[in-house]
Chains A and B, each alone.
Chain A
Amino acid sequence: MTDFLQLLLSGVATGAIYAMAALGFTLLWQAAGTINFAQGEFVMLPAFAMLIGMSFGLPLWASFIVAVVLSILVLGAAFKKWIVDPMRGTGVVAVVVATLGLSIGLKSFVKAAYSAEPHPFPSIFSDEVFKLAGVTISYSDVGALVFAGLMVLGLQTFLNKTITGRAMQAVAQNTFSAEALGINVKRMIFYTFAINAILVAVTALLITPTYLAKFDMGDNIGLKAFFAAIIGGFNNSRGALLGGVLVGVLENLAGAYLSPAYKDGVALVLFLAVILVKPDGLLGTPQERKV
């Protein structure tokens, strides 16, 4: 039982981190119709930015701030302006191939220009553990859970309660009527890209201590975020949280109780089951097909 609780907790903590990357993924889809196959690399780049910052002697928090700013400029503004905007109206497949190209390009660039080796990355939480009712709990799990949970809930509140957040949702739902209502659509879409840029930087901060900073670390994170987003519901931002936690918990439990070899298969089976039974995700709403 205590084993189970431990696995559950660390699963929820990992899941909350997946949820952040997944949330960014769904936000981009809703606001700009962009399926970002480079989301994993978007997590990898801030990790390396922080690593480079620290190699110049900056403390972790300062390099994190630098990474967030760079992330907003490069993965937010530049990505939107130079890749997403010019591709408006070219269709989903072209955008998918472009972000696939971006994913390969970024990975190989980091490998060629920086290093192919994995680099250790400091955790912002202490790696000590404490016991609560017989269950061993690590500070880093609790820290990651609280940090990621606050990020996701804070973002939910922002989207639902503030005028800017509601305007962003309006743009996601119907760009034309949002524009007719006087919402600055371009700015709202930019905000979405900026939020995604912040989310990936925070994801990098929390997940790199366990994954290590490596040029291909994004493969796994991107895939998990992708599963989480679809399981939860691609057009629902709350779904990403549910999907992320489900993926995190299930892969942890399956790794321990079923078979470590098929650990990655469990999220997959859940994912396939959801797609077959409820293609719009657990919390998603069906999309109408246009003639």
Chain B
Amino acid sequence: MKTTKLLSTQHMVTLAVALAALAFAPAMLKTYGLYLLSLWLVYVIAAMGLNLTVGYAGLKSLCHAGFMGVGAYTVAIMMKAGFSFWLASPTAIVICFILGLLIGFPALRVQLHYLGFATLGFNLLLVLFFRNEEWLTGGTFGIQNIKRPEFMGIALESNTNFYYLVLAITIIFAVLLALLLRSPWGRAFAALRDNAIRAESTGVNITAYTLMSFAIGAAYAGVAGALFAPLVNFIEPAPFGISNSLLFLMMVVIGGSGRFYGPVLGAAIALLLPEYLRFLKDWYLAVFGFAAVAMMIWLPGGLLSMKEAWQLSRAKREAKQKELEQAGGAA
């Protein structure tokens, strides 16, 4: 039985190589490269959460950047008020989780695309709040000089040390997500996505699971936000707007929604690739946009569905070939 083994050998080897590469990356990268790699990991955490909501539970959520903003602002405001990062970040995660629950309630009323619209509206509201409530958020000037934390006496101020913190937290939350998806909860989320009414009739409490998938997804965005603020040292409303929420959705879908490594790949394409294609300047985004269109036409399951799409098309071709041969034989 395949399922008795936790991971296939091939999977284990690939994972070990990837983790080793990430662990040795600081030795090979300059300051900016390391910063980008850390930012990518932060986006991966957020996109993993969205993948749970969108890809596994099938709910269309378009305010992920807003949740990330709530996480980032919570940490920044609390640290400015003198609280430690290790108290501020769990608070940020809890606040995002609760907000996710509150947003999940309309999800129970409005399914399908209306939910996407409602969450989009909520994100706009959050941005207006970040921008206009200057006494709390600093308005358009944002909050500056956010310090990086210490961990058990080790200063994480240096880029390398902070990178290892981000990497460690990414791995922890990736493992937690993997465990969640392997649990009966993961199956319930998939049942919710595939057919909510059928799931309900087989005894899945869809109310609870809808709320949970939303709240856990939002909590992951909160984790990402909590790391984003000290990483960049400075936050303002712009990165938490709807265009980034839409970008998060694109990351998940382009990578392969409902696939564990989809967000990892999607975040790399949306964040790391533009840096290597800088010489293209504005044309890069044009190419990125049109490439996304082309991909949705030919590969709507995302990049990670390539293998299956190829196998499917080969199976189809073979079936057709057989049909033709039989027809030829009959004639």
**A interface residues, Cβ below 8 angstroms from B:** 35, 37, 82-83, 86-87, 90-109, 111-112, 116, 219, 223, 226-227, 230, 234, 259, 261-262, 264-265, 268-269, 271-272, 275-276, 279, 289, 291
With A91-B300, A268-B125, A275-B121: A106-B54 Cβ-Cβ less than 8 Å: no
> Which residues of chain B from 275 to 312 have any CB-CB distance to chain A below 8 Å in the complex?
281-293, 295-297, 300
Chain A residues whose CB sits within 8 angstroms of the CB of B121 once the complex forms = 227, 268, 271-272, 275
Chain A proximity mask over B245-288: 1 for CB below 8 Å, otherwise 0: 01001100110010000000000000000000000011111111
Complex Cα distance, B282 from A105, in Å, reads: 10
Sample of 20 more A-B contacts, CB < 8 Å, known A96-B249, A107-B285: A35-B113, A37-B246, A83-B297, A90-B300, A91-B300, A97-B249, A97-B253, A97-B254, A104-B288, A105-B287, A108-B288, A112-B281, A112-B282, A223-B124, A261-B128, A264-B124, A264-B128, A269-B125, A271-B121, A275-B118
Q: Is the interface of B mostly helix, strand, loop or mixed?
A: helix
Given A268-B125, A275-B121, residue A103 in contact with residue B289 (CB < 8 A): yes
Alpha-carbon gap, A230 to B110, bound state (A): 12
Q: A106 contacts B124, CB within 8 Å? A: no
Q: Is the CB of A108 within 8 A of B283?
A: yes
Say yes or no: A261 contacts B132, CB within 8 Å.
yes
B114 A87 Cβ-Cβ under 8 A:
no
Picked from A92, A106, A279, the residue with its CB within 8 Å of the CB of B109 is A279
- Chain A residues in 8 Å Cβ range of B290: 101-102, 105, 109
Instruction: Name B246's closest neighbour in chain A (CB-CB).
Output: A100
Residue of A nearest to B128 (CB): A265
**Chain B residues proximal to chain A, CB less than 8 Å:** 54, 60, 106, 109-114, 116-118, 121-122, 124-125, 128, 131-132, 195-198, 243, 246, 249-250, 253-254, 257, 281-293, 295-297, 300
B286 contacts A112, C-beta separation under 8 Å: yes
Contacts of A108 in B (CB 8 A): 282-286, 288-289
Contact A105:B296 (CB < 8 A) given known A96-B249, A289-B197: no
Interface of A is mostly: helix
Contact check, A98 vs B116: say whether CB atoms are below 8 A apart.
Answer: no
Chain B positions within 8 Å of A102 at CB level: 289-290, 293
In the complex, A35 Cα to B106 Cα: how many Å? 20
Indicate if the CB atoms of B282 and A272 lie closer than 8 Å.
Answer: no
Residues of chain A contacted by B288 (CB below 8 angstroms): 101, 104-105, 108
Which residues of A lie under 8 Å from residue B285 when comparing CB positions?
A: 104-105, 107-108
Q: Which of A98, A259, A261, A269 contacts B293 (CB 8 A)?
A: A98
A-B contact pairs, 18 of them (CB 8 A): A86-B297, A92-B112, A97-B292, A97-B296, A100-B292, A101-B288, A102-B290, A104-B286, A109-B290, A112-B283, A227-B121, A265-B124, A265-B125, A265-B128, A275-B121, A276-B109, A289-B196, A291-B197
Q: Give the shortest distance, in Å, between B280 (CB) and chain A (any CB).
A: 9
Question: Is the CB–CB distance between B250 and A97 below 8 Å?
Answer: yes
Q: Which residue of A lies closest to B200 (CB)?
A: A291
Chain A nearest CB: distance from B192 CB in Å? 13
Q: Would B111 and A104 count as touching, CB distance under 8 A?
A: no
Interchain CB contact (< 8 A) of A100 among B125, B131, B249, B283: B249
Closest 5 CB pairs of A and B: A105-B289, A101-B292, A104-B289, A112-B282, A108-B285
In the bound complex, CA of A109 to CA of B289 (Å): 9
A72 to chain B, nearest CB (A): 20
Give the distance in Å from the alpha carbon of A95 to the alpha carbon of B286 in the complex. 18
Complex contact A230–B253 (CB within 8 A): no
**Which residues does chain A contribute within 8 Å of B117, judged by CB atoms?**
226, 230, 271, 275
Which chain B residues border A227 with CB–CB below 8 Å?
Answer: 121
